[in-house]
Amino acid sequence: MSFSLSVKSTIHFVGVLSFVRFSSSLLGLFTTYGTITPQSPQVEIGKNFTATCVLYETAESTADDIFWTCNGKVPEELYTKINDSAVSVTIKITPDTCKWLICNKQPRYVNQTPAIHGIMLTKGYPPEKPNNLSCMAVQSGQKISPILNCSWEPGTRDELLKTNYTLHTSWTGFNSSQKSIGYINMETFPSYCELKIWVEVANSLGKVQSETLTVGDANYLVKTNPPLNVHIYSENNFPRSLLVKWRRPIEKHFFRLKYNIRFCAVGSEDWSEVPPNDTESDVDSFRLQHLKPYTEYVVQVRCMHSIGLGYWSDWSANATWWTPEDKPSSQPDLWRVVIPSQGKSERRVQVMCKDPVESNGRIRNYSIKIQDGGRKTVLVNRSETESRKIIPLYQFVLPDDGEALIELDACNSRGMSPRASLTIPKFTHEPPSVKSLSWFTKEGRLWVEWVPHRGKARDVTEYILEWVSVSDGALDWQRERASRTGLANGNLEKFKRYSISVYPMYSGKTGKPWTEPAFLDQKAPMVGPVVNVSRCGKNDAELRWMEIPLDKQQGFITNYTIFYTMGKQEQSITVSADTYSYTLKHLTSGSKYVVRVMASTVAGDTFGPEYTFNTLEYAPGEIEGIVVLVCLAFLFLVVSLVVTCILKMERIKKKIWPPVPDPSNSTIANWSPDFPSKADPVSKENALGDVSVVEVDVFDGRSLCEEDKAGLPLKKDKYLSEEHSSGIGGSSCMSSPRQSVSDSDEGGDSGQTTASTVQYSSVVASSGYKGQTPQPCSSQAQTPSFARSESTQPLLESEEQPEGQEGSGQPHLRHPRNAYFRRLPGGSSDDDDNNSGDPGDLNQLEMEDQGLTLLQFSPLEEGSQQTTPTEEGQTPDGQLDPIPSYLPQLRGYRPQ
């Protein structure tokens, strides 16, 4: 508890002590402990300044406690102790000296302010003396104005202080002055009186006065108005002079005047002045002499006090007039233009001229004399409004082997000029040209230099410098007297192409020219080349562009740059200035390209418009080549097929059209070699004699002969190996080809293939029958033997049995007859033709056919047992069915 009270008492004591110190500092702020003299002075830059700080008794300090600050503490060696309460300081004033100088004392407390007093230093310079004081009084109406205007030159440095300028005169008046000018209104101008004038300048650092301007007569300070009503007059008898008259601007009782006159030709800036001694007297007219005849002149006049003191008046307004005409004093400038004729041995000459330099009047006409083998005189009149600088005079034709002398006289109203002459030599005898020619530009002018021809330089009297505008053909020329450099003085235009030519003149005879193109100045072409594609291929394209018109080139073309772009890939090619076509190579086929051409001069570049083209998918002739190759290949294929067909004709015919044998030559009658048939004595070669129809009585108890029995086992094996082909007609042309073994060893054709062989079958009911005559045989019943023929004869329609007719009850449909195997009674083919329409014969044939149906045809099967015809031919009711000629085929013919 006691500890807490002790801490609180300590904190309270410290707070009271801090408050006392803060109060003391506040009292110090509002208490003055001393002062500084002088107070806020204006100090001069470059000089020393001394200030003294004096302490009051209330400061409770001594001089030893004082220190000075000025942008920092001032060094103590600059202090001077005056007594115990005063200390001075001396500092040098510079433009960088501080603005505030403060006197301080050492503080007794921590928070006590050390400053005692401070002063502000105003820096500056004292005024400088004005120089060149001058004053002028101007004319106002017919009198002199009472206001005197003066001017002077003030000091060059800035005073940095407020400075007053005051203009004073020996005559009282209102004064108004600025830094360099001022005026005094004297109410009445003191003519013929002495006048003193000066300027006074003062500021806080001092005062200064100019030199006094003393004038014995105030009229010497007067500037009058310019002379009035200036006029010019000409006199016909004096073509080289003009009379100038004027009126004085002020009355003579003020003072006398003297005059100054100047003149020049209209358009010229070179003024000529009349000598001052010729116009010192107070006159009102003057005659100008030694002027050029028929020339317009401009004249101006001014005046001032005749004593020569004071000021010249302003120049009067321009007065212009023409001098009278005089006869020409120089010859006309004669020249020609020679134009060769196309395909002819002649030249067309255009004669032209300029007016004489000293025409001394308006040229009214020209007289031309031409000697080209004859002599002719031509008079050319000029109109009043003719203002051309170059006058075309006459045009004539001159042969290449001819020479002409042209003489020209110019006439005005006062007489004729000296004669000018020009000789045009023969085309083959023209004197030589200069050796070389060059040009350059300097300060916007065109300069031409040339080198004379060796050995002929002494004979040259002058050179003709000619320039022709290429764009419009404007021509001009000038003469250079035995010089090697010429400045083209014509009105040449920038960015325009000119043809510069130099002609050496040999005593009036023109030599050969040397011509070079030139530009006064160059810049980028006005337009770019217009490009187009003249030929486009698969991987190349030929570009063409026209030359930029000469009036739009604006400089010499240095090169062309071709830019071509496909997609975002751009490439460029630079070609020479004389190239106007280029072939782009290694392009991508079937692609789109954008091309443009840039023309360049030494001063810039200009792009032409863009052109878009597409390369070809195929090169020219490539499609035609492909078509030709395809056609040739197709033709080769066709020819090969045709040749193959020709070479394989027989095999192809056998493949497509199998050979069909003649039924009349069929070997069906000779199927069985063991049972040869008897020859029909009445058969003929063209009849079906080889085919026989065997009629067998099945109920005949006679059996096959023993010799037939012996052949059955052998044939049985042969039949079983061929899968038991069906009977007659059992195979068709549509069945699959199979190998067939002939029943007879001598009846088959070994050269025929199985694909072209159609097999036939025959049934021999009994071995006892051979041919058509039955033979006695064994009494035992024999199974009918099945024989096969390898005839290539296709089956006939009547042999093919549709499946739908198997169960038909119509015997004639179930067992169709084959007409080829039929032999009419009588056996002769001739008889067949003759008796084909006999109904009796047809009935007999049908009866025979019915007898044949009693035979049953079946192939032998392995392991099968032979049956007698009686067993097979019986029906359940004991009746005999008609025996078919061959077994009916189910589902077509069995494969062979």
CA angle 646, 652, 654 (to 5 degrees): 135
Q: What is the pLDDT of residue 115?
A: 84
Q: SS3 of 888, please?
A: coil
Cβ atoms of 397 and 373 within 8 Å: the answer is: no
Q: What is the pLDDT of residue 674?
A: 53
- Indicate whether 814 pLDDT > 50: no
Instruction: Report residue 516's pLDDT band, with 50, 70 and 90 as the boundaries.
Output: very high
Residue indicated by tokens 């004249």: 299
Q: What are the tens digits of pLDDT across the range 562-577? A: 999 998 889 999 999 9
- Asked if 688 and 835 sit in the same domain, the reply is yes
Mean pLDDT of the chain: 76
- Of 64, 89, 124, which closes a domain? 124
Out of 155-164, 268-277, 750-759, which region has the weakest mean confidence (pLDDT)?
750-759
Cβ atoms of 868 and 881 within 8 Å: the answer is: no
- We report the CATH number of the domain holding residue 338 as 2.60.40.10
Percent of the chain with pLDDT over 70: 69
Domain contains 890: no
Instruction: Report residue 148's pLDDT band, with 50, 70 and 90 as the boundaries.
Output: very high
Q: What is the DSSP letter of 129?
A: P
- Of 198, 221, 244, which closes a domain? 221
Instruction: Report residue 388's pLDDT band, with 50, 70 and 90 as the boundaries.
Output: confident
Give exposure, 108-125, as e/b (b: 16+ Cβ within 10 Å).
Answer: eeeeeeeebbbbebebbb
Q: What is the pLDDT of residue 495?
A: 93
- Asked if 419 and 395 sit in the same domain, the reply is yes
- Indicate whether 810 pLDDT > 80: no
Q: At a CB cut-off of 8 Å and minimum separation 6, what does 882 contact? A: 811, 815, 850, 853, 854
Give the CA count within 13 Å in the CB-facing half-sphere of 115. 11
Out of 195-209, 286-300, 545-559, 863-877, which region has the weakest mean confidence (pLDDT)?
863-877
Number of domains the chain contains: 7
- Average pLDDT (98-124) is 83
Higher pLDDT, 421 or 815: 421
- Asked if 165 and 97 sit in the same domain, the reply is no
Quote the tokens at residue 38: 């002088």
Higher pLDDT, 750 or 185: 185
CA angle 123, 124, 126 (to 5 degrees): 145
Domain contains 363: yes
Higher pLDDT, 173 or 196: 196
CA 723 to chain centre: 92
- Asked if 246 and 154 sit in the same domain, the reply is no
- Asked if 729 and 672 sit in the same domain, the reply is yes
Compute the Cα dihedral for 6, 12, 18, 21 and give only its sign.
negative
- Indicate whether 248 pLDDT > 90: yes
Q: What are the tens digits of pLDDT across the range 220-239? A: 999 999 999 999 999 888 88
- Asked if 434 and 423 sit in the same domain, the reply is no
Q: Measured between alpha carbons, how far is residue 219 from residues 193, 303, 597 in Å?
A: 8, 14, 79
Domain contains 293: yes
- Asked if 55 and 143 sit in the same domain, the reply is no
Residue 495's closest CA among 520, 472, 475?
520
- Asked if 803 and 675 sit in the same domain, the reply is yes
Cis omega (within 30 of 0) for bond into 38: yes
- How far is residue 138's CA from residue 189's CA, in Å, rounded to a whole number? 10
Higher pLDDT, 666 or 640: 640
- Asked if 415 and 435 sit in the same domain, the reply is no
- How far is residue 846's CA from residue 815's CA, in Å, rounded to a whole number? 12
Cis omega (within 30 of 0) for bond into 340: no
Cβ atoms of 583 and 540 within 8 Å: the answer is: yes
Domain contains 654: no
Q: SS3 of 391, please?
A: strand
- Indicate whether 842 pLDDT > 80: no
Q: What are the tens digits of pLDDT across the range 602-620? A: 999 999 999 999 999 888 7
- Average pLDDT (842-854) is 43
- Structural domain including 595 reads 531-614
- How far is residue 331's CA from residue 343's CA, in Å, rounded to a whole number? 37
Quote the tokens at residue 330: 């120089």
- Average pLDDT (742-756) is 39
- Asked if 803 and 694 sit in the same domain, the reply is yes
Domain contains 881: no
Q: What is the pLDDT of residue 112?
A: 64
Domain contains 520: no
Q: Measured between alpha carbons, how far is residue 676 from residues 690, 703, 771 in Å?
A: 11, 18, 6
165: which strand partners?
201
Instruction: Report residue 522's pLDDT band, with 50, 70 and 90 as the boundaries.
Output: very high
Max distance between CA atoms of the chain, in angstroms, equals: 207
Residue 579's closest CA among 559, 607, 553, 555?
559
For residues 216, 218, 219 and 223, what is the CA-based torsion angle, rounded to 10 degrees?
A: 120
- Of 306, 322, 338, which closes a domain? 322
- Asked if 720 and 605 sit in the same domain, the reply is no
Give the CA count within 13 Å in the CB-facing half-sphere of 413. 9
CA 357 to chain centre: 52
Domain contains 524: no
Percent of the chain with pLDDT over 90: 38
Higher pLDDT, 110 or 451: 451
Q: Which helix (H) or strand (E) holds 20?
A: helix 2-29
Q: What is the pLDDT of residue 222?
A: 93
Q: SS3 of 837, please?
A: coil
Give exposure, 383-397, as e/b (b: 16+ Cβ within 10 Å).
Answer: eeeeeeeebebbebe
Residue 664's closest CA among 627, 683, 689?
689
Q: SS3 of 455, please?
A: coil
- Asked if 103 and 25 sit in the same domain, the reply is yes
The strand ranges marked E within 17-85 are 34-37, 42-44, 48-55, 66-69, 79-83
- Indicate whether 813 pLDDT > 90: no
Instruction: Report residue 662's pLDDT band, with 50, 70 and 90 as the boundaries.
Output: confident
Domain contains 382: yes
User: Left, alpha or beta for 655 (phi > 0: left; psi -120 to 50: alpha)?
Assistant: alpha
